[in-house]
Every structure is written in structure tokens, then in C-alpha cells.
């Protein structure tokens, strides 16, 4: 709410912000695969919160152990760390791009942290949500496990990540759903089928 003047100001301010699409869905639903296609075919820039955390963990920084412990347990890393890595990556690439931020925000703490730390830098105008059954997600995770080397690509960690997704991330999706900015996609098909559905109605 506000006067015409303040509304005009905020539109003007929004024009200078990075344009962000959040990409959500359970573990192994295909977020990374579809993001890669949107980068190759549609000029998005893709940032995976999980990949940024794994890279940070590998540098032996002061946060390494904490990040590692969280990932192994399928728990969510404190938002200050994730936002710091996201902002650093965005600034390095240039804020005038269209970003896909994949696997974030995963809980309400992430959401509030983003609102607090990133509101001056970025505007979220859509949220992609890939829907897939746990049975299918587990199949894809176990297939990925053959080559990923990820500490959380196993049945035990996957179960923990499903629980985290159901109890924490779904609330974030509901929050954006109330704002009518969720683009819900059935992720059961093959890669090209899902991509075709995804492109329909997507803000480019
Ligand atoms: N993670 C986190 N915060 C994030 C993103 C990822 O704490 O914003 C951690 C969390 O422990 C999660 C793990 O990193 O289970 C793997 O996330 P990723 O997005 O890589 O998994 P995916 O959903 O792609 O299978
Ligand atoms: Mg991923």
C-alpha cells in the first residue's frame, strides 16, 4: 500500500534490482537439469544454493565443518551463510542478469533471511515448483548417486531430505502461492516433456 508517488518510486527501484526466479521441488526432482536447459536456451543465469554451499565447504573455510554437518543430515544451513554466498556469486556475474536460484529458500528462516538481506538487491517475480512423487525422486537420486559423489545421495539421507522438504520447504511454497507467483510443473515426464511444460507461461 502507499501513495501513487511511493508506488512509482518502488517500481523505479525494482527496475534496478536483479530479477530472480526461485526454483523449488524435492531432492532429485530435476531442478538442476531443467535449470541447465534454461541457461542454454533462454539466457538465464543459474545459481544452485547447494552447489555454492558444497564449493564453500571444499575451501576449508571457517564454515566448512558446519556446512558439511548440515548437508550430511539433510538439515538447512543458517541463512546468513547461504545469502552471503548467493550475493557474492550474483555480484561477481553482474546484477543486471535474470537469475535462477535453485534449491533456496528451503524454510521460513531462509525466506525471512532473504527478505532481510537481499531486498535491496533483488526482486523475486516467479517461483518454479517441480512436483514429483518420493518414489520417483528416490529413483533419480539413486541413479545420480552412481556419479555424483554427494554425501547425501543415499537412501538414508534422502529420507531425511524428504522430511525436511515436507515439513519446512512446503511452507515456503505456500507463502509464494498466496502471492500467485508459483509456476507449478509436473516433473514426471522425460526431460524434454518437462521443459515444454516449464516454458509455457514462464516469465523470460
Ligand atoms: N542446503 C541448505 N540450504 C540451501 C540449499 C542447500 O542448507 O539453501 C543444503 C541442505 O542440507 C540440502 C543440501 O544442501 O539438503 C543439498 O541441496 P541441493 O539443493 O544440492 O539438493 P537437491 O535438492 O538438488 O537434490
Ligand atoms: Mg540440485
Q: List pLDDT tens digits, range 11-60.
A: 556 678 999 999 999 999 999 999 999 999 999 999 999 999 999 999 99
- Answer yes or no: is 5 within a domain: no
Q: Which domain holds residue 35?
A: 18-198
Is residue 10 a part of any domain in this protein? Answer: no
Structurally, how many domains does the chain consist of? 1
- Asked whether residue 7 is domain-assigned, the answer is no
Bridge partners (DSSP) of residue 99 are 20, 45
Residue 169 lies in a domain: yes
pLDDT band at 150 (very low <50, low <70, confident <90, very high): very high
Q: Note whether residue 157 is domain-resident.
A: yes
- The string of pLDDT tens digits covering residues 115-141 is 999 999 999 999 999 999 999 999 999
- Whether pLDDT at 7 is above 80: no
Contact 183, 29 (CB under 8 A): no
Q: Is the dihedral of CA 139, 42, 93, 107 positive or negative?
A: negative
Count of C-beta atoms within a 10 Å radius of residue 177? 14
pLDDT single digits (tens) 167-200: 999 999 999 999 999 999 999 999 999 999 999 9
Average pLDDT, integer, range 86-102: 97
The pLDDT score that the predictor gives to residue 16 is 85
Whichever domain contains 22, its CATH number is 3.40.50.300
In a domain, 156, yes or no: yes
21 close to ligand 1 (CB < 6 Angstrom)? no
Answer yes or no: is 90 within a domain.
Answer: yes
Q: Is 138 within 8 Å of 155 (Cβ atoms)? A: yes
CB of 19 sitting under 6 A from ligand 1: no
pLDDT of 162 over the 50 cut: yes
Q: Could you tell me the pTM of the whole model?
A: 0.92
Q: Is residue 189 part of a domain?
A: yes
Q: Is the CB of 30 under 6 A from ligand 1?
A: no
Amino acid at each position: 500500500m502507499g501513495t501513487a508517488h511511493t508506488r512509482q518510486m518502488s517500481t523505479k527501484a525494482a527496475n534496478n534490482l536483479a530479477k530472480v526466479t526461485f526454483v523449488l521441488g524435492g531432492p532429485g526432482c530435476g531442478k538442476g537439469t531443467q535449470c541447465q536447459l534454461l541457461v542454454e536456451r533462454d539466457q538465464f543465469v543459474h545459481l544452485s544454493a547447494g552447489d555454492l554451499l558444497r564449493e564453500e565447504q571444499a575451501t576449508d573455510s571457517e564454515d566448512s565443518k558446519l556446512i558439511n554437518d548440515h548437508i550430511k543430515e539433510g538439515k538447512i544451513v543458517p541463512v546468513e551463510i547461504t545469502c552471503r554466498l548467493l550475493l557474492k556469486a550474483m555480484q561477481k556475474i553482474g546484477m543486471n542478469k535474470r537469475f535462477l536460484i535453485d534449491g533456496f529458500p528451503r524454510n521460513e528462516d531462509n525466506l525471512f533471511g532473504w527478505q532481510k538481506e537481499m531486498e535491496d538487491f533483488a526482486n523475486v517475480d516467479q517461483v518454479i515448483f517441480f512436483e514429483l512423487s518420493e518414489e520417483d525422486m528416490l529413483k533419480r537420486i539413486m541413479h545420480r548417486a552412481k556419479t555424483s559423489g554427494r554425501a547425501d545421495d543415499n537412501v538414508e539421507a534422502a529420507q531425511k531430505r524428504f522430511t525436511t522438504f515436507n515439513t519446512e520447504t512446503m511452507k515456503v511454497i505456500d507463502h509464494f502461492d498466496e502471492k500467485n507467483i508459483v509456476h507449478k510443473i509436473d516433473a514426471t515426464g522425460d526431460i524434454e516433456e518437462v521443459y515444454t511444460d516449464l516454458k509455457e507461461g514462464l516469465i523470460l
